[in-house]
Structure 1
Amino acid sequence: MTFSIVARDNTGAFGSAVCSSSPAVAARCMHLRDGVGVVNSQNVTDPRLGAVLLDQLSVGKTATEAVADVAVSTQHVEYRQLLVLGADQPGAIFSGTEALGVVGEAAGANSLAAGNLLADANVPQVMVEAFETATGDLESRLMAAMQAAKAAGGEAGPVHSIGMAVVREAGWRVTDLRIDWTEDDPIQGLQDLLEIWLPQRDDYVIRGLNPTFAPSYGVPGDE
């Protein structure tokens, strides 16, 4: 009931975007750590696996090794779909035998995409191609992948929630946007939200790291 992408760029940033028919998908599925990598845990989601896989990347295991360890040591892993991407090696995807409906996977040079209950198994490949050919900030490239997924059919049924997150050496998620439930188009909703957020993103990083250099908020009373 989910399609998602994990990615990195040449600035050292890691990002993820995920969309689903279920509510609040981003709260359960996306896991990111500065300087380490990004993991999505989806399908019948076990959020605990995000931290487990990031911990393995942090001690030097490759994505393939980390996924292999989880696959042989975790109960109910046959219900899980996992995407794991570290800093400088190929990523790895695991789709268990009990993953729901039409399942798809795809890998690019700096991205992985996967989904379940898809309208078409080729949706992840379309996402990866859209990301790898897009330009601009990581957030914009992730958004291009989600728009491409929608155009390719996305999930077999209607989707209701979406999220995007990026880490970029600040120590927290410099972008963390989500729509937890809507009867409208969540992908277009995230696009609209991103257009509001991106021009302000770096100002909020400055405010967190060094408020003395921070620009004003531009609201009444802030001079």
Structure 2
Amino acid sequence: MTFSLIGHCARTGQFGCAVTTSAMGVGARVPFAEAGLGAVLTQHRTDPRLGPRGLDLLRSGCSAEEALAALVASTPHHRWRQIAIMDRAGRTAHFDGEAVKHARAAVHAPGCVALGNIMANTGVPAAMATAFAADPGEPLAERLMRALEAGEEAGGEGRPLLSACLLVVHEQRFPYVDLRVDLADAALPALRLMWNRYRPDMDEHVVRAVDPEAAKPPVL
């Protein structure tokens, strides 16, 4: 009942995740990312502990494949987990436990890995990966947003989507973009509206944090 992806922008070095589902509050449980390091998705019968643990493994020098193998080996209930990882080099890995429900699928493509479970069909991740790759000149968050929209257009979950998240990290310890819809009648249009409004000011929010003297004055 979740479809998601991790993406990397080779031009900026940014990493990001996008995820949506018919349950509420998905952004608090599934996506984890750290600037200059990579990202982790943990879903199906979600264990949010796997995200920070996966980032710790990447930080220790593990590749995506090595971090995934260590997560699976150390997780007693791995048969219920669906996990994806991207490392700092852009390498990807994913795991489907035997109890993860169908339709489930994953697609690895340059700069991204897309996956899902309990989807309307197995073509959803491929549609997401294609949309993500279509315009590499766009900001990473826009490409991730378009991927979610393409996944829904391809069939998505087949049920109304209630929550969604757009997460991008870049240079700082705090997120560059962190937008969440936790409970909505139509999560993706709501997230699209939030992103369109946030996009013009995303760099200014970083300036306010790291160099407040250079920040633009508020518009009265």
> What is the TM-score with the length of structure 2 in the denominator?
0.96
Q: Percent identity?
A: 34
Q: Does 1:60 align with 2:61?
A: yes
What is the SS of the residue equivalent to 2:125? Answer: helix
Work out whether 1:97 is the aligned partner of 2:101. no
Asked if the contact 1:62–1:89 (Cα under 8 Å) also holds between the matched residues in 2, the reply is no
Aligned twin of 1:44? 45
What's 1:15 paired with? 16
Question: 2:213 is matched with which residue?
Answer: 212
What is the CA–CA distance in structure 2 between the aligned matches of 1:100 and 1:45, rounded to whole Å? 13
Match of 2:78? 77
**Counterpart of 2:29 in 1: which secondary structure?**
helix
Letter in 2 for 1:201: M
Please give the residue correspondences for 1:101-116 in structure 2 after superposition, counting only pairs within 5 Å: 101-116=102-117
Q: Does 1:167 align with 2:169?
A: yes
Contact 1:123 1:154 in 2 (8 A): yes
Correspondent of 2:182 among 180, 183, 190 = 180
Alignment gaps of 5+ in structure 1: none
Counterpart-to-counterpart distance in 1, 2:3 and 2:188: 12
SS in 2 for 1:153: coil
Distance 1:143 1:217 in 2: 28
CA distance in 2: counterparts of 1:217 and 1:30, whole angstroms? 32
Does the CA-based 8 Å contact 1:3-1:116 persist in structure 2?
A: yes
One-letter amino acid of the structure 1 residue matched with residue 111 of structure 2: N
- Give the one of 125, 139, 155 matched to 1:137: 139
Amino acid at match of 1:179: V
Residue 176 of structure 2: SS of its match in structure 1? Answer: strand
The alignment covers a number of residue pairs equal to 218
For 1:148, the equivalent position in structure 2 comes to 150
Cα drift, residue 158 of structure 1 = 1.7
Matched-pair contact (CA < 8 Å) for 2:8–2:90 = no
Give unmatched runs, 5+ long, in structure 2. Answer: none
Give the conservation status (yes or no) of the 8 Å contact 1:37–1:87. Answer: yes
Q: 1:217: how far off?
A: 2.3
3-state SS of the aligned residue for 1:68? helix
Query: What CA distance in whole angstroms lies between the structure 1 residues aligned with 2:29 and 2:114?
Result: 17
Give the corresponding residue for 2:2. 2
Confirm or deny: 8 A CA contact 2:42 2:81 kept in the other structure.
yes
Q: Which amino acid aligns with 1:4?
A: S
Please give the per-residue CA displacement for 1:84-122, whole angstroms capped at 9, x wherever unaligned.
001214200111111123101001111001100100111
**Cα distance between partner residues in 2 of 1:54 and 1:7:** 15
Aligned residue for 2:217, secondary structure, equals: coil
Q: CA-to-partner distance for each residue in 1:122-174, whole Å, 9 max, x for gaps?
A: 10011011101223100010011011001101013221110111000022101
- What is the Cα deviation at residue 210 of structure 1? 0.7
SS at match of 1:173: coil
> SS where residue 154 of structure 1 aligns?
coil
Alignment TM-score, normalising by the size of structure 1: 0.95
Give 3-state SS (helix, strand or coil) of 1:166's partner.
Answer: strand
Matching residue's letter, 1:66: A
